Structure 1
């Protein structure tokens, strides 16, 4: 009987190794602007059914929901979640109270659950009034993400050749790194 328990315990761990969740480490936004918290996952199985949740401050803690964010939350739709492996959210009109660490949790039927390592949302004190400044900040953040992806393995974003990523979903001339 003890041997059977050990086998089932090992099986659970092997199944969870099939799912990996990636998040940005940090996102900055000006007070009053929208903040996109990106979350992507990879898996070794075809995904047909699943869901995702976000938590603030700790996994299993305060769930991020429309109610808790007073209708300021946009979630990735079901088709984008399943087809592009994208579990991102947008918090509209962020305020200083929104600052904190957010954790993405992906739950796939027949595979299990996995969490990202957390994204720290930082709210800038000074609002960038000029559109050019905002665009520069977005470009700088995107460039930092690209550099981070180049420098380490397992960077956020769907990999180009994941068994769960559907290359057919790409537009002509588009690479998986640009999704």
Structure 2
């Protein structure tokens, strides 16, 4: 009876290994975190211990990476077929990284006839250069800076002139009223004089006499 139990033990061991063949530990990604500067390249390592024919793919967060898309086609270098089959290597390299490429990258291995197995992921953080953070205006063209300054000065001068013109126009309107309030008697005499002379009949214009004809 004891010998029968030991004889069946290898079969249980093989069966348990086959059931655990798609564990997360079968796809290894290292390191867990990568910090790079904008414009640099990053190598995302991925190795696996699965047997059989299969394929591999990558995704950033929940977005699958299309190796043939315009965004990645000229930037990604994939592991060749021999590296994938013989060395079980599914690593990739991404060039010219930007802030938009930051995220957690997952390596996914799919063996024919089995479910897809995914690694624990590698968190990639892309940061800008220190000089770009401290002096963001340096990235602007020099000519555009001067154009912006000149436009601001012109606008300020124009607004100042408009304010001065409005103030002078108001003062000119208020000046006669102030003079009338200071000399009310003179204002009444002037008004009476204008009223009196305004009612006088206008002299009639004399028509010139026609020239006399000389009679011979």
Q: Give the TM interval when normalised to the shorter protein.
A: 0.5 to 0.7
1:56 to 54, 60, 71: 60
Deviation at 1:28, TM superposition (A): 2.2
Give 1:82's aligned residue: 85
Give 1:115's aligned residue: 118
1:66 to 62, 65, 68: 68
The runs of 5 or more residues in structure 1 that have no matched partner are 1-9, 128-179
2:22 to 5, 16, 23: 16
Query: Which structure has greater strand proportion?
Result: 1
1:27 to 11, 30, 34: 34
Structure 1 segments (4+ residues) deviating >3 Å: 10-15
Using the alignment, how far apart are the partners of 1:85 and 1:53 within structure 2? 13
Give 1:100's aligned residue: 103
Q: TM-score, normalised by structure 1?
A: 0.55
Structure with the bigger RCO (C-alpha within 8 Å, sep 6+) is 1
Query: Which structure has greater helix proportion?
Result: 2
Give 1:41's aligned residue: 48
Deviation at 1:122, TM superposition (A): 1.1
Q: For 2:86, what is the secondary structure of its paired residue? A: helix
Higher Cα Rg, which structure = 2
Using the alignment, how far apart are the partners of 2:98 and 2:29 within structure 1? 21
Q: TM-score, normalised by structure 2?
A: 0.46
Deviation at 1:63, TM superposition (A): 2.8
Count of matched residue positions in the alignment of Structure 1 and Structure 2: 114
